[in-house]
């Protein structure tokens, strides 16, 4: 059994408009205009070997992360005021990860999978016609 908890602070964060079909990341250093991102993370799971000679390994874990100080572009900013280029907000994400792996000599086989869901508070003032996605579901298979 595994239980993890932590508080993390990140002073460099990516600002991206997730409603655009292409990724245009801008990196912003925390300072007078942007506060650092603070995240509180909790994770718990089970893992272990089983089978003849511990040939198989399985793990399952769930997590929850809360974020404060997420930066987003302020599309309604005043060009003459530098301090309103960004807005700050909060977010959270949670999910589960699973792994089944066969341990043997030579090429091994594994079947990883992850289910994730996140929510980011509507932080941005957008130009007309833009819509803010509030919830995203992202199934992924890390490591293929």
CB neighbours of residue 124 within 10 Å: 20
Give this prediction's pTM: 0.64
Q: Would you give per-residue pLDDT tens digits along the chain (144 residues)?
A: 999 999 999 998 887 766 666 777 778 888 877 889 899 999 999 999 998 888 889 999 999 999 998 887 777 777 787 777 788 888 889 999 999 988 876 676 778 888 888 876 655 444 444 444 444 444 444 544
In this predicted structure, what is the pLDDT of residue 18? Answer: 64
């Amino acid at each position: 059994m595994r239980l993890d908890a932590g508080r993390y602070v990140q002073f460099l964060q990516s600002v991206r408009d997730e409603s655009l079909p292409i990724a245009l990341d801008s990196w912003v250093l925390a300072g007078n205009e942007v506060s650092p991102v603070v995240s509180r993370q909790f994770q718990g799971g089970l893992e272990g070997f089983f089978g003849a000679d511990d040939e198989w390994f399985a793990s399952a874990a769930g997590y929850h992360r809360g974020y404060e100080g997420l930066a987003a572009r302020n599309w309604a900013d005043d060009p003459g005021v530098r301090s309103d280029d960004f807005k700050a907000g909060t977010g959270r994400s949670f999910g589960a990860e699973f792994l089944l792996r066969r341990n043997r000599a030579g090429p091994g086989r594994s079947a990883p999978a992850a289910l994730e869901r996140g929510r980011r508070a509507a932080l941005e003032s957008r130009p007309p016609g833009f819509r803010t996605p509030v919830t995203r579901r992202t199934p992924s298979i890390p490591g293929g």
